[in-house]
Amino acid sequence: MKISNLVLMALLACCWPLGSAETLGIAQPVARGGVPESDAEALWAMLESKVDGGYRLVTRDALQAVLTEAGLANASGLVDPDGTRTEPGKLKGVRYLLITTLSRLGNCLNVSFAVIDSSTGVVDPERRTTEQVPDLTSLAPRLDGILTKIGLGRTEAASGGAVLLAPVIRIRGAVPGYLAQEFRSRLQSSLLERGVRQYNLETLSRVLHDNGIPDPAAATPSDFARLGGVIGANYLIRPEVTRFEFVTTTRYNELSGTETSRSIGYFQGEVRVIDSHTGEVIAALPFKEMMNRNKIPASVRKDYTERDYGEALIDAALPALVEKIAPAIKTAETTKSAK
């Protein structure tokens, strides 16, 4: 089923701030010729952190919505077999698209990069290249130079790449099934809007497993440093939730003989920013948000479920939290540059 244009516009609007910069999506790399999917997933995450070029980057969810609207399951159907052209104007809301393929040639890993202008359907020959490396580990230190060559290098103002780890949940009682995923997804989008470039850890689960890196809840500083080395990230963002609940109190008015109730939501925890080269915690950022359900307009909450209230509580906490995380990473980047 296709997504309506109105919904699609809303998805795109929430993924980047308004401005004059062109939009660019990073398509999921295509693995061919016996290359494992885990390699494609790892490269996708590396690209998401390092691609810049002054473009407004489209998040994965928004890009998938665009592809769905175009009747495509993924971006591999956009390019002709010769890899030089796609149908003009097929991607609404995404001006440029980075297409990447991986294939094996003997003992070498071939990695091809191409930037498509979706308004013309043409792959600019000046913005395509193929690199041969033994493996992805060898590609990582060369990636900045490769991206610069095709016009997607990092600008001076861009912050360092980060991994947003899956939230560690340490709350008493039942844990809402949506909490970890919604907190991570919404925090990721908010950080992207603030200019913090990130890898997507969901696609790295097999890579982490293959490298013997444990769950973030049990990881040590050396594990964090090894994670950064595997994927080439500068920073790890580790959220931890220690409280997430709604507490309802009821009061009885003896004069009127009526009861009134009030439900307050509590969402608190801490976000740690970790230098992935050393495993050292460079910032520990506590957060705490309280939300009165009754402050949400009745017309808005008339059909709310418990999950809707929970997601509203998460959203309420994000602006202040992001304004702590982004400057912490920026300060660390400035300090490194000065050395």
pLDDT digits (tens, 9 = 90+) for 130-143: 999 998 888 888 88
Look up the CATH number of domain 162-338.
Answer: 3.40.50.10610
Rounded to whole angstroms, the Cα distance separating 279 from 277 reads 6
Which of the four pLDDT bands, split at 50, 70 and 90, describes residue 232? low
**Sign of dihedral through CA atoms 318, 221, 236, 36?**
negative
Fold match flag (19-149 vs 162-338): yes
Question: How far, in Å, are 134, 172, 259, 283 from residue 267 at the CA level?
Answer: 47, 13, 26, 20
Question: CB under 8 Å to 204, separation ≥6 — which residues?
Answer: 41, 42, 45, 163, 231
Extents of the domains making up the chain: 19-149, 162-338
Please name the fold of domain 19-149: Rossmann fold (3.40.50)
Which tokens sit at 145? Answer: 């130079």
Mean pLDDT of the chain: 81
Antiparallel, parallel or unpaired: β 198-199 and 162-164? parallel
Average pLDDT over residues 236-253: 91
Running DSSP on this structure, what letter comes out for residue 62? Answer: H
Which of the four pLDDT bands, split at 50, 70 and 90, describes residue 246? very high
**Tokens 């999917």 identify what position?**
37
